[in-house]
A and B are shown apart, each in its own frame.
Chain A
Amino acid sequence: MLVWAGGEPASTVLQGRVVDPGEGIDETLTVTVEDGSIVRLEPGGDGRLLLAPAFVDPHVHLRTPGREDEETVASGTAAAAAGGYCAILAMPNTDPVVDSAAVLGSLLELAREEADVPTGFFAAISKGQRGEELTEMGELADAGAVGFTDDGRPVVSAGLLRRALQYAAITGLVLALHEEEPTLSRDGHMHEGAVSARLGFTGWPAVAESLMVGRDLALAAYEDKPVHVMHVSALESVEAIRRARADGVPATAEVTPHHLCLTDDAVLSLDPNRKMNPPVRSEEHRQALLDGLRDGTLSCIATDHAPHARHEKDAPFEEAPFGVTGLETAFAALNTYLVRPGVVPLPTVLERMSAGPSRAFGLPLPRIAIGERANIVVVDPDSEWMVTEDGFRSRSVNSWLLGATLTGRVVRTLADGREVFSR
């Protein structure tokens, strides 16, 4: 269930190069929106701006309840609107954890009052995300959960995960998995490799992820139940997911902009805004992620938007928490570092930011087609802008892109027929 505050349906005329890979459109069109719905698509018009199906982010930390100083439903969804998103899914690793219908219900109520874009909430797989007992998945699904995850932590026990796969079938919802073998990643602060050897950090090796990905795909295959692998970072994970999908395992996977754009060389600066979990890895891994993105093994781009208080990131790298923000920079970063240099085609990026995540979680597909609700992002593709601390709608500024000059900027967002952002 996606909920939000909503607003007046928009009536407007948009012009630009419309790229909707799902509809097979790539041409300059004039798009007429009346009462929130697309009523006309006519050839021609000013083709300077880019129009695409608005984005869907399956992995956002709204930090509410518990850390409203870092993000609120209002600020996080405002950031999403500014990033071109028409829907986001929030993680349950809050304080308290979203592991009961009461907590979930209060969040849904809050989102109905203050969410700028349609928002869904994951519930935890295990009570308190402790990895011991299953949550009341049936009641949570009835209350409106969009899926289950213990994100932030792996489900360490294979036995518990197997039960979760079996039991979640009564809900029809997907389990989203944070893949990390904790005895291998313990004390790890960055990718294990040449850079960690130089800097002296305990490594968080790629095998700590791929080992769990392999285990969980085997369980999903055995139970024939769907799984979604979150924030994939390792070459071996991509290969395992590709093989499993080819074998018919109902698995989807996501990758973040920072894993697609950065390597572990970025940590040499010891900037705490380059510290994330899983860590950015070496070029070999990054290339495998790009291959996976291109061939659809990784069908979703997710920001893993993880706001952190300024004073917590203003610490030595080793003491700083994991995570970076991403909602307001995702498209611009991918456009700057992947699309414009010709690494990944624009339609692929657009598809993985919108249709891919929608399909993975059974959400309505944003489409630019007559009769559809308007879920449209408008981008000025040539606009150059610098990422600065004062430019964010998010309450937190821990962006891995601070100081970078990006090309391409979201200038307008329509979500479910409403204009939720315009610059």
Chain B
Amino acid sequence: MPEIRLAQPTGAPPRSPRRHLLSISDLERSDVERILDTARALAGSLDRDVKKLPTLRGRTVVNLFYESSTRTSSSFELAAKRLSADTMSLRSSGSSVDKGESLKDTALTLAAYDPDVIVIRHPSIGAPQLVARLTGAHVVNAGDGKHQHPTQALLDLFTMRETLGRLAGLHVAIVGDVLHSRVARSLVEALALVGARSTLVGPPTLMPRGVETLGCVVTHDMDALGDADVVYVLRMQRERMGPGAAFVPSLREYAARWGITPERVRPGQVVMHPGPMNRGVEIDPRVADSAASRITTQVRSGLVVRMAVLYDLLTTGPVAVSTVVETHPPLEVA
């Protein structure tokens, strides 16, 4: 079993280039590569009997979730715990939010405890930016409305790199409801950053006008999947089918035209989905459970990538105080 050793840097102590992780568009390629490399190193810890690292001992990570979430909230919490940080998780239901407390006041209340990191998921675009303005904590966007979900994009890149061995030159077809998808927006930007191509495939009513300016090809034609290395399936949200908001005529027609069936997956292609899945709508269960699927790998990647993100912000950030020797990057697996 490999020992995980956290090496001392040479020369001057590192200064973080990033104080927050709010949007993929705030990152440069080198940031992405550094985070993925850190995640790679941390992945080794998952195979050990004792999975906990002392890296963030004494740090506090607050998870503030205003929307339901299974994998994002659980993996952030576990990521912080695996790095020995103290964690506190708040949900909007059952908290002062139920009593009408504003995001500003909730943020200021939590900031009074001097947390090192606030991880926030919120239904409104711009909520993480507000918390970043109001508090001294590092803020990680765990999804804000239809805007961004940067750690999802990073874990998807990590999954692709681990599966296919590279990112540059890959072609990723992103299929489904792009209009309402923060995952798609983050992923397209992240793929462009690392030199991969993306094609958005789906009903024209679910494609945001102007999205091609993000550096992707847009089509409604499923034949575009043939050339892809990765078929990335987006969740078709049932709430988009309500009266007055009928973006497609029916889920039945959607599944027939854009659902990922075994016939639509070429041998050698990898299928990914950010979850939660609507089996039988955007993805056929036979595909979801096939060897081509990397959906559970994505969940596992989520843990190490979120560990890497916390590590990256806290060990090189401007507020980093190295009381623990092990808190210096870069990580090396000896």
Contact = CB atoms under 8 A, between A and B. Distances in A.
Interface string B137-171: 00000001111100000000000000000000000
A315 B210 contact: no
A200 B148 contact: yes
Given A192-B209, A200-B125, A314-B104, 14 more contacts: A193-B210, A194-B213, A195-B210, A197-B209, A197-B213, A198-B25, A198-B214, A200-B145, A202-B146, A315-B124, A316-B124, A316-B125, A316-B144, A317-B125
Contacts of B210: 192-197
A337 interface: no
* Size class of the B contact interface (CB-based, 8 Å): 20 to 34
A239 interface: no
Contacts of A314: 102, 104, 130
11 contacts: A192-B209, A192-B210, A197-B210, A199-B147, A200-B146, A200-B148, A202-B146, A203-B209, A314-B104, A316-B130, A319-B124
A270 B144 CA distance: 12
A275 B145 CA distance: 17
B317 interface: no
Interface in A314-331: 314-319
B209 A205 contact: yes
A361 interface: no
A311 B108 CA distance: 13
In the complex, the 6 A-B pairs of residues with the closest C-beta atoms, listed nearest first? A317-B126, A200-B146, A316-B124, A318-B124, A197-B210, A194-B213
Contacts of A311: 102, 104
B189 to A, nearest CB: 8
Contact of A200 (B104, B129, B182, B209): B182
Nearest to A183: B244
Given A192-B209, A318-B145, A197 B214 contact: yes
Contacts of B25: 198
B124 A196 contact: no
B306 interface: no
Contacts of B147: 199-201
A328 B210 CA distance: 35
A270 B126 contact: yes
Nearest to A198: B214
B122 interface: yes
B4 interface: no
B103 interface: yes
B127 interface: yes
A315 B146 CA distance: 17
B81 interface: no
Contacts of B275: none
Nearest to A282: B210
Interface in B111-138: 122, 124-127, 129-130
Nearest to A314: B104
A315 B209 contact: no
Contacts of B146: 200-202
B208 interface: yes
A84 interface: no
